[in-house]
Chains A and B, each alone.
Chain A
Amino acid sequence: MHIVVCVKQVPDTKIIKINPKTNTLDRRSAPAILNPYDAHAVQAAVKIREETGGMISVLSMGPPQAVAIIKKSIEIGADRGYLISDRAFAGADTLATSYALSKALQKIANEEPIDLVICGKHAIDGDTGQVGPGIARRLDIPPITNVIEVSEVNKAEKTVLIKRKQISGYELIQTQLPCLLTVEKEINSILYSPLPNMLRAARYEPVIWAVSDLGEVDKTQLGLKGSPTIVGKMFTPPKLEGGKKLEGSSDEQVSQLMDILMERKDLLKLKETSTAN
């Protein structure tokens, strides 16, 4: 069983600041971390490996500093790490990124066939969730998104049972291997890494590939050149104004609430909500 987990280095958006002039993320204001969903993806791979044996490789695209998140993945339990890093990848949108990663996955598969690809649901800096399905389409394997459980990995039959989160309830899918999963945080909790993993990660040097190492690549599909996405406008959403907390017994709270609703009939009309998320 060879599992490849695609991981991304992202700024910690919990503490990042927005440049008020350009409305872009001020990347210097936050440390770079392993995308939290990707950490769960690596942990999911570790759990599968415990049952089936085999090997976990992690793959990332990014600047040389992204080695740090590959080491982090080794801490969690990955066996090998690959980083594709080249000026030619810079400025890639999700289309160009999934192209570059699928080329690297093909190269990894030439060394050792891949049974399963796992990605995080989305990266916390872009929130698109497009790269995973993009890779699946390019590799021509089924993409299964919003995964909250993986069970019954059958090596002989090459099948796996997947639980997907739905808006109401969940969906159980049995599918063939290889396939690509994008995982939710609920799939597991990140375990505290054993000390031997820490030592291995501290010593680990990932394989770094440039574009020229990836074999036949259509350079017009890479980086900024291969990215049709145009960002029209960015803005910081207005801060929510503080609300009012109703206190007292349930009855008191209900009557207070009724008073407010009777007074402010406009609140009962549905507000126009943004569907950006």
Chain B
Amino acid sequence: MPEKFDVIVVGAGPAGTSCAYTCAKSGLNVLLIERGEYPGSKNVMGGVLYRKQMEEIIPEFWKEAPLERPVIEQRFWMMDKESVVSFGYKGLEWGMEPYNNFTVLRAHFDQWFARKAVEAGALLINETVVLECLVENGKVIGVRTDRPDGDILADVVVLADGVNSLLSKQLGFHKEFRPDEVALTVMEVVNLPKDKINDRFNLEENQGCTIEIFGDSTKGNLGTAFLYTNKESLNIGVGTTLSSMIKAKLKPYDLLDYLKTHPMIKPYLEGGESAEYLAHLIPEGGYRSVPRVAGNGVLVVGDAAQLVNAIHREGSNMAMSSGKMAAEAVIEAKQANDFSESSLNRYKDALYGSFIMKDLEKYKDAAHVFEKYPQYLRDYVPMMNRAASKFFTVDGTPKRDKQKEIMRNMTSERGKFGMLQDIYRAWKAVK
């Protein structure tokens, strides 16, 4: 007879570990199953960890978690082939408690986080793949792993098995992705000595910088690139939707190479040594792609529930919050000893009432609009660069005449009406 737990959490990423931690802390008997060699070994993100949602799970985590640098500067680049228009914000208050966000290396951070869950009483097993949910009378009663004698039972199974959640597909919660619902992100960790990073990014000890790069970073395709500072390495990566990659016949690693050798970026990486190469799918379908998240004896959290806000590069924070909400629903269900869908729908209600689904709803059309009308990244970014160049070049032309010429150039490219239409469309998509 297989052993039975209160909760089985499949996947020790931010969502699964948050859920396991919260359940274990309230005294539930929790099994956390990870397919990687250790938590974090298979997990990928650009590298920004948000303070707020993590703090709600482990207060003052920054005092002990393996973080890289607190981010004190965020830059946004509109990049063309040989130029960039940049804006950003740098504030020393972000370098002090309670901080805003941090850069992290997931292989280190996820291991630490999972250790916290184990300390709270969760049981963690690695290198074990969950093949399917065990279903009896329409209710999920456990999971089957790939190990001998591999069945194991639970009142609730929480699926935190990541973007391509085979388990929720097996249950019919998910359909196969469309290529415009997922982005493929490729990235590299490039080792570079600390003082070089501090010099190049104008930072001091324990200060970090993030740069989000739009435009030529994806050759005008729908997506973004990023360059983040760790303690002694940089994360550089680029992601575009699968559909635009297919349309533009782009290979992801070619795009990353293009980015690394781009004249605006190359000087930052000079002399660096590539330490790791990572690639991962990111669920970017947004609001409309969120599957059913609760069933009889089962909940879906994090990337598995497609909870990513692509516009604001938020994902791990949503994963953590959803994991915590799922845990709270499980704890209540346990008290009521009712693990039916209607009982577990507490989680769904909490999720839809939270910032997560509100933000996803706000941007529900954004990706679609930017995919359908590629001019935003393809045309407007170069246009902005030309305008800035013209405006800041001192050539004896009166500034008023320059402004007029810039406007004339812009409207001649898209047409006055076209431009107004573009602006309205973009505003509507993100309002």
Contact partners of A192 in chain B: CB under 8 A: 146-148
Contact partners of B152 in chain A: CB under 8 A: 195
Partner-binding segment picked from B56-64, B123-131, B349-357 = B123-131
Q: Nearest A residue to B107 by beta-carbon distance?
A: A31
Q: Would you call A194 and B150 a contact (CB within 8 A)?
A: yes
Contact partners of B146 in chain A: CB under 8 A: 192
Tally chain A residues at the interface, Cβ within 8 Å: 11
Complex partner residue of B128 from A31, A198, A203, CB under 8 angstroms: A198
> A202 at the A/B interface (Cβ < 8 Å)?
yes
Q: Would you call B123 and A195 a contact (CB within 8 A)?
A: no
> A174 at the A/B interface (Cβ < 8 Å)?
no
Q: Would you call A202 and B123 a contact (CB within 8 A)?
A: yes
> A196 at the A/B interface (Cβ < 8 Å)?
yes
Q: Which of B31, B124, B125, B151 has its CB near the most chain A CB atoms (within 10 A)?
A: B125
Complex: A31 Cα to B37 Cα, angstroms: 11
Complex: A88 Cα to B152 Cα, angstroms: 44
Complex partner residue of A195 from B38, B124, B128, CB under 8 angstroms: B128
Contact partners of A202 in chain B: CB under 8 A: 123-125
Contact partners of B128 in chain A: CB under 8 A: 195, 198
Complex: A194 Cα to B128 Cα, angstroms: 10
A205-254 at interface with B (beta carbon < 8 Å)? none
Contact-size category for B: 10 to 19
Complex: A195 Cα to B142 Cα, angstroms: 14
In the assembled complex, the CB of B173 is this many whole angstroms from the nearest CB of chain A, namely 25
Q: Would you call A194 and B148 a contact (CB within 8 A)?
A: yes
Contact partners of A199 in chain B: CB under 8 A: 3, 31, 123, 125
Q: Would you call A196 and B149 a contact (CB within 8 A)?
A: yes
Q: Would you call B3 and A196 a contact (CB within 8 A)?
A: yes
> A151 at the A/B interface (Cβ < 8 Å)?
no
> Contact mask B134-176 → A, CB, 8 Å, 1/0?
0000000000011111111000000000000000000000000
> A193 at the A/B interface (Cβ < 8 Å)?
yes
In the assembled complex, the CB of A149 is this many whole angstroms from the nearest CB of chain B, namely 24
Q: Which of A31, A198, A201 has its CB near the most chain B CB atoms (within 10 A)?
A: A198
Q: Would you call A194 and B125 a contact (CB within 8 A)?
A: no
Q: Would you call A198 and B3 a contact (CB within 8 A)?
A: no
Contact partners of B3 in chain A: CB under 8 A: 196, 199
Q: Nearest B residue to A196 by beta-carbon distance?
A: B149
In the assembled complex, the CB of A243 is this many whole angstroms from the nearest CB of chain B, namely 26
Contact partners of A203 in chain B: CB under 8 A: 123
Complex partner residue of A194 from B123, B124, B149, CB under 8 angstroms: B149
A171-197 at interface with B (beta carbon < 8 Å)? 192-196
Complex: A202 Cα to B124 Cα, angstroms: 6
In the assembled complex, the CB of B275 is this many whole angstroms from the nearest CB of chain A, namely 10
Contact partners of B145 in chain A: CB under 8 A: 195
Contact partners of A193 in chain B: CB under 8 A: 147-148
In the assembled complex, the CB of B411 is this many whole angstroms from the nearest CB of chain A, namely 57
In the assembled complex, the CB of A166 is this many whole angstroms from the nearest CB of chain B, namely 35
In the assembled complex, the CB of B393 is this many whole angstroms from the nearest CB of chain A, namely 49
In the assembled complex, the CB of B9 is this many whole angstroms from the nearest CB of chain A, namely 14
Contact partners of B147 in chain A: CB under 8 A: 192-195, 198
Q: Nearest A residue to B123 by beta-carbon distance?
A: A202
Q: Would you call A198 and B125 a contact (CB within 8 A)?
A: yes
> Contact mask B1-38 → A, CB, 8 Å, 1/0?
00100000000000000000000000000010000001
Complex: A198 Cα to B151 Cα, angstroms: 12
Contact partners of B125 in chain A: CB under 8 A: 195, 198-199, 201-202
Complex: A194 Cα to B152 Cα, angstroms: 12
B contact set with A: CB distance below 8 Å:
3, 31, 38, 123-125, 128, 145-152
Q: Which 4 A-B pairs have the closest CB atoms?
A: A194-B148, A195-B147, A198-B125, A194-B149
* 6 other A-B residue contacts (CB within 8 Å) besides A195-B128, A198-B147: A31-B38, A193-B147, A195-B150, A198-B128, A199-B125, A202-B123
- Between A and B, 26 residue pairs with Cβ closer than 8 Å are A31-B38, A192-B147, A192-B148, A194-B147, A194-B148, A194-B149, A194-B150, A195-B128, A195-B145, A195-B147, A195-B148, A195-B149, A195-B150, A195-B151, A195-B152, A196-B3, A198-B125, A198-B128, A198-B147, A199-B123, A199-B125, A201-B125, A202-B123, A202-B124, A202-B125, A203-B123
